[in-house]
Structure 1
Amino acid sequence: MFIYYLKRLSGVIVVIWGATIVVFFMMRLVPGDVISTILGPMAQSEQIEKLRAFYGLDKSIWEQYFIWLARILTGEWGNSIAFSEPISYLIKLKLGNTLILTGGSLAIALVIGLVVGIVSGLRPFTLVDNVLMATSVAAASIPIFWLGLILVYFFSVRLRIFPVSGISSLTGSSGVFDVLHHLVLPAITTAAIPTAVIARVTRSEIVTMLGKPHIVGIRAKGLKHNKILKHILRGITPSVVNISGLQVGYIFGWALFTEIIFKWPGIGLLLYEAIVARDIPLVQGAVLVFACLFAVINFISDTV
């Protein structure tokens, strides 16, 4: 077991290291000069040369990479061009909001996915099963940005039940309930595909369990429905836990797009704003943090 965990952990380290290489060289392919972007068009040649030396841009490409990697590992991420704040501070500030969205989406996916899957699985090939499965397929088939816009149109613009964007109200209370009120639509949007996946896997596992000899036997003995359900749920738990764990990484990935749609102030929106502003240091930092978190989340879900 220790060897298995060690192999998985080494895989995470390799993925993160690969992410640093991709992020570094991807930014080098962006048109324009990074130093000119940082200092602006009025910068003098002495300032440009000094900053180029600071970032190691007067050295070979691989020397530049290892200098940059050393700065990343020691926490010297530099300042954001667009926000004039330390990049590490901005990421810490926004990361909590992304985790709130991810946690809310996971809770919705688990609750609705399990309920739909259990109801469908216990009534296979009935009208209820067909309707629920068709609905889950439809929800999973809609592109996430379209689903987000549809929810905003009906529940924010037309019905005015939920806010259009943001994490808190501009006026009034910005407490827990206000955040939860803003969280509903982004979390539902992010959870749509994982909910459908969990529902379909749960339903499939229950249908399989209903055909197992020991379940057929206890049903023939006239055991109470609750006790039969307990046996079934015990049997499907490993598969459902495994597929639910895999969805955590996908939820984290989809959350980045949801943040842009709903202006949710997390890592995804920060990354989008950095790209628009051509804030290359911030783009590097945000992408690297996302890649690291994605790798760690997948490691945890694979090993738990």
Structure 2
Amino acid sequence: MDRPHEKYDRLIERCQTLAPTPTAVAHPCDQSSLEGALQAAKLGLIAPILVGPSARILAVAKDCGLDLTGMPIVDAPFSVASAEMAVQLVREGKAEALMKGSLHTDELMGAVVKSATGLRTARRVSHCFVMDVPGHEDALIITDAAVNIAPTLEVKADILQNAIDLAHALHFDEVRVAVLSAMETINPKVPSTLEAAALCKMMDRGQVTGALIDGPLALDNAIDMEAARVKGIKSPVAGRANVLLVPDLEAGNMLAKSLSFLAGADTAGIVLGARVPIILTSRADSLIARLASCAVAALVAQSRREGTKVIG
């Protein structure tokens, strides 16, 4: 068995040679979000710019015994204004990443996707979980379980490319994508199997690039070699996938939470497809998951600086 958080520790260690990523932290007005940002700064992962009601941020720091000496604070009166100001800092080139504080996800993402003042690109915005599953050899990317509810084939192509680019930013030796469904055979009555087949053909035609891809695959034969062998599936992906593209948000959310609450997995989260990576954590996330999310964002930001394909 691997050590607890071993995969996340490797991600954080890889960031030690990088300069801290300037990060606008939107509305860090509770202990977990403020402490997470400060701990990430202490490890050199990010250089936080705290955006929100300054008096409230200072009060939280005082109550929790957190030292904000030398930490820049940009005053914004309430949560939506904090999100808009954090986005503005990115547009002005003062931040290379966004981090969610104690505001609602919809408030932050609403500011991100505004057509005139947001951070949209030609790529669809999507979410990736980077999961540290005990007993599983490598980090596992699951997408999209938080942003796109019922993605079309066109949207899935963007979700897929975002995840592939993320895997390269995280230095996966080989990116192996399983497009998941309830079965590994194509069934016209199950639309996700048809879309999986279409995505594989899009990879063949160069419409999606940078990975090995197979689908449809059921979860068991996507990640377990013996299950793939028993089903007679011969594929460079089956049994050894490190990226899982789910049919819809509900399936992805249940898969990620099952791994978290039943298998003891840690869950780092990031949103891609915007101009910068967006660190999207939950109030229930552990400190190590928050730090890992910051490490993922730092590696994505580094890939963008190097001019590779990662968007956001």
With normalisation by structure 2, the TM-score equals: 0.27
Which structure is higher in strand share? Answer: 2
With normalisation by structure 1, the TM-score equals: 0.27
Give the structure, 1 or 2, with the largest relative contact order (CA under 8 Å, sep 6 or more): 1
Which structure is higher in helix share? Answer: 1
Q: Between Structure 1 and Structure 2, whose CA radius of gyration is higher?
A: 1
